A and B are shown apart, each in its own frame.
Chain A
Amino acid sequence: MPWNISSSDVILLAHATFGVAGSMAALWVFVEALNAQPANAGRIRAAALVTAVCIAAAWICGGYWYVHFYPPEKALILKGPWPFAHNLFMETKEHLFFVTAILAALLPITTREKLFSNSAARKLVLSVAGLIAITGLAVEGAGAIIDHGVKVALLQNASKGSR
């Protein structure tokens, strides 16, 4: 069976995968920080680093795909029945992503605090990790809507062609 997978597909799927992995790693930091002890301090810092690396990778893959491969899909969406998939969801997603990325860069810095003995630092880490998970998953959800915007546009074109 031939696999017709283009570099565009690989980059796009890598973007989504790194995004979910980063959001899940942030959730891991959140859960570990809820029960912060000297024994899991190293694990919290490692998970924070994984979060930052995954979100950075999602940024690079997504940015490259957005700049080089998105314009034809954007044109399709805007001509299709779901133009808001670009006008609202893509526009919000592409700028909200920077918020997630800045928070992901911040997380390893905040986890250098002694969370097991400093309640204020623990609340801060819980907040940063929670915000990464929430905004990261919101961005993922917007990605699914954009994808569906392309699908309904293609289905519309296909049904017009079959008449």
Chain B
Amino acid sequence: MDSAIGPETPKVTATTSGFVLAAAIVVLFNTTLACAKDAYAPLKNFMKSISGHDWTTQGLVDLLLFVALGFLFMNRRVGEKLPPDRLTGVLIGAVAIAGFGLALWYALF
């Protein structure tokens, strides 16, 4: 038996890893955009001019970005470069930053 061969590392598909990475990026992008439009009125007005409401525009941008990045990362197999457990950690970290970041932003400003 070849001792160099260890237990197989469990992997996830390129689709899963790509969309998980896309979700983590969109979650952080969403938080940044929420703070940016709150701090910079012209951005909020521009977003309002697109769909009639800045919140509607933000939701559509988030959704489109998630789908676009997900397919991009899936085709280029970008997410596979990270071990699945690291990918999970990145997603949890992104959601934690988003949740506490949003609450802190609106509590302070």
Complex Cα distance, B83 from A120, in Å, reads: 9
Measured between beta carbons, the chain A residues less than 8 angstroms from B13 are 112-113
Contacts of A63 in B (CB 8 A): 55-56, 59
Q: Is A144 an interface residue (CB 8 A)?
A: no
* Interface size range on A against B: 20 to 34
Which residues on the A side are within 8 Å of B56 (C-beta)? 63, 67
Contact indicator per residue, chain B 52-65, by CB within 8 Å of chain A (1) or not (0): 11011011001100
**B107: Cβ under 8 A from any A Cβ:** yes
Q: Which residues of A contact B27 (CB under 8 A)?
A: 99, 102-103
Q: Could you give, for residues 108-134 of chain A, a 1 whenever the CB lies within 8 Å of some chain B CB and a 0 otherwise?
A: 011011000011110110011001000
Bound Cα distance A66, B59 (Å) = 13
Chain B residues in 8 Å Cβ range of A103: 23, 27, 95
Which residue from chain A places its CB closest to the CB of B94 in the assembled complex? Answer: A99
Residues in B neighbouring A118, C-beta threshold 8 A: 10-12
* Known A63-B59, A66-B55; contact A110-B31, beta-carbon cutoff 8 A: no
Verify A67–B10 contact, CB threshold 8 A.
no
Partner of B98, one of A59, A99, A124: A99
A87 within 8 A of B: yes
Residues of A that sit less than 8 Å from B by CB: 59, 63, 66-67, 87-88, 91-92, 94-96, 98-99, 101-103, 105-106, 109-110, 112-113, 118-121, 123-124, 127-128, 131, 135, 138
Nearest 5 pairs of A and B residues by beta carbon: A120-B84, A120-B10, A95-B34, A91-B106, A106-B23
Chain B residues within 8 Å of A, Cβ to Cβ? 9-13, 15-16, 19-20, 23, 26-27, 30-31, 34, 38, 52-53, 55-56, 58-59, 62-63, 66, 70, 83-85, 87-88, 91-92, 95, 98-99, 102-103, 106-107
